[in-house]
Amino acid sequence: MKVKDPVCGMKIEKEEAVERVEYMGKEYFFCSKECAEKFRDDPERYAHQGKPRGHGCCH
């Protein structure tokens, strides 16, 4: 089963994910430790990728 790495947007096989992070009851899979670390740093930013908010926007 393919999943999307929310940080870099890469599609990876679940079994091949290097890291797995649980956030708000959902599981996220990452292609590398780097991506997982970025996610842990700022999960809010990556967990809502379904709804585009634009980059560096004010709010």
Binds Zn ion (CB under 5 A): choice among 3, 5, 17, 28: 5
**Which span sits near Zn ion by CB under 5 A: 15-23, 24-32, 38-46, 51-59?**
24-32
- 18/53 Cα distance (integer angstroms): 27
x-or-dash string of contact with Zn ion, 29-48, rule CB under 5 A: --x---x-------------
- 7/47 Cα distance (integer angstroms): 9
Strands, E assignment, the chain = 2-4, 11-13, 19-23, 26-30
Binding site for Zn ion (CB under 5 A): 5, 8, 10, 31, 35
